[in-house]
Amino acid sequence: MIAMGSKKRRGILERLNAGEVVVGDGGYVMQLERRGYVKAGHWTPEAAVEHPEAVRQLHREFLRAGANVLQTFTFYCSEDKLEISGNVTNITGAQINEAACDLAREVANEDDALVAGCVSKTPCYVKSHSEAEVKAIFKKQMDDFLKKDIDFFIVEFVDHVEEAGWAVEVLKTSGKPVGATLCISPHGDMHGVPPGECAVRLVKAGADIVGVNCHLDPLTCIRTVKLMKEGLEKAGLKAHLMIQPLGFHTPECNLGGYTSLPEYPFAMETRAITRWDIHKYAREAYNAGIRYIGGCCGFEPYHIRAIAEELAAERGFLPPASEKHGLWGAALEMHTKPWVRARARREYWENLLPASGRPKCPSMATPEDDYEKHYLLFRPEQVVLSLM
């Protein structure tokens, strides 16, 4: 990193315990879908084996943007999920998991970043609801990771706290730190467990870091993590807080998150957040006491850079990719057009309300409410609007 000097690699808890900001990476599957390497609907990570150069390059871009952690590209890489998707016929989950560890490690070592081995929700949980079967799946994936040089684990994109707890219990047996992020809304998990209680359960299961990822926009996710924090405080428990939200505006979503939006997954462009939205998000997350701050689907490298730029004073340095970015638009000062030069200032971008260019389109959609109907948790009298 710029003017960083050489640092010894320190562990995730060492960093968080020291009060440092840890910048996470962004979303892999949606970005690699757009680049041509992941199939939407399946969302499986076989590209780690099939096209390692593409995964390596995206890792590198996140690293360059300021990420302190590279997550292995192992989303949905449990054997049961791979089998269902039917997308990958000649490659085993173990091959993907191992290749993904190598790729993340290789790039992380270009700087002093950490590698997090990632597991996500399993089809098995909803199908069998068997603790033994689900834990066996997580154990198998963990064993793949442990053959490689990873620094800690992340359980992510789980919408039942019970399943996430099981994963944490398995992964803790490795002796490595474990973070756990649920893809839940402020209303709680799929069984109606409120965020505060979810956090308590995860910490009791052994999680060192808890929070949320995916499914909802940054400000909504901050609200959920705040509720987790309150729950932990009430229970007298301590844990680090983590957040990796969507890079999309989803003000009208409830429990089902962005999959319930009509635009999911092939017309989400309209909802993409800007780098200036990220500045607000990073500041607000920091102010809420969250110290592991990254992104999920929709977070591209420049969004991660915006986190690192917003928190540059707190971290003490800018990321490498800021060589190619004027803070708050400063590089526009030399633009040939005077009205573009006039945009080379923070006030302009902070206050801009960007037009959609789509006068035939509405500003808000009607989310599919089947999700809510299925899970009986929707309280129609309380539709919560969150706006960035």
Q: Segment 67-96, which members bind its own copies (CB under 8 A)?
A: 84-86
Output the furthest CA–CA distance in the chain (Å, rounded): 66
Subset of residues 7 to 36 that bind its own copies, contact rule: CB under 8 A: 33-36
Nearer to its own copies by Cβ, of 65 and 311: the residue is 65
Nearer to its own copies by Cβ, of 144 and 250: the residue is 250
Nearer to its own copies by Cβ, of 16 and 306: the residue is 306
CA 251/CA 61 separation, integer angstroms: 29
Q: Considering the complex, what minimum distance in angstroms separates the CB of residue 19 from its own copies? A: 26
Subset of residues 242 to 301 that bind its own copies, contact rule: CB under 8 A: 248-252, 254, 256, 259-277, 280-281, 300-301
- What token pair was written down for 197? 């209680």
Q: Considering the complex, what minimum distance in angstroms separates the CB of residue 175 from its own copies? A: 34
Nearer to its own copies by Cβ, of 169 and 369: the residue is 369
297 is in an annotated binding site: yes
Which residues lie closer than 8 Å to 204 by C-beta, 6 or more apart?
A: 165, 237
Closest CA to 386 of 230, 252, 194: 252
61 part of the interface to its own copies, by CB under 8 A: yes
Strands 209-213 and 240-244: parallel
Judging by beta carbons within 10 Å of its beta carbon (0-12, 13-18, 19+), is residue 274 exposed, middle or buried?
middle
383 part of the interface to its own copies, by CB under 8 A: yes
Q: Look at the chain and count its residues.
A: 388
The DSSP code for 260 is G
Cβ proximity of 241 and 272 under 8 Å: no
Q: How far apart are the first and last CA of the chain?
A: 30
109 part of the interface to its own copies, by CB under 8 A: no
Nearer to its own copies by Cβ, of 276 and 292: the residue is 276
Subset of residues 295 to 354 that bind its own copies, contact rule: CB under 8 A: 300-302, 305, 320-321, 323-326, 329, 331-340, 343-344, 349, 352-354
Numbered residues of the known binding site for Zn(2+): 214, 296-297
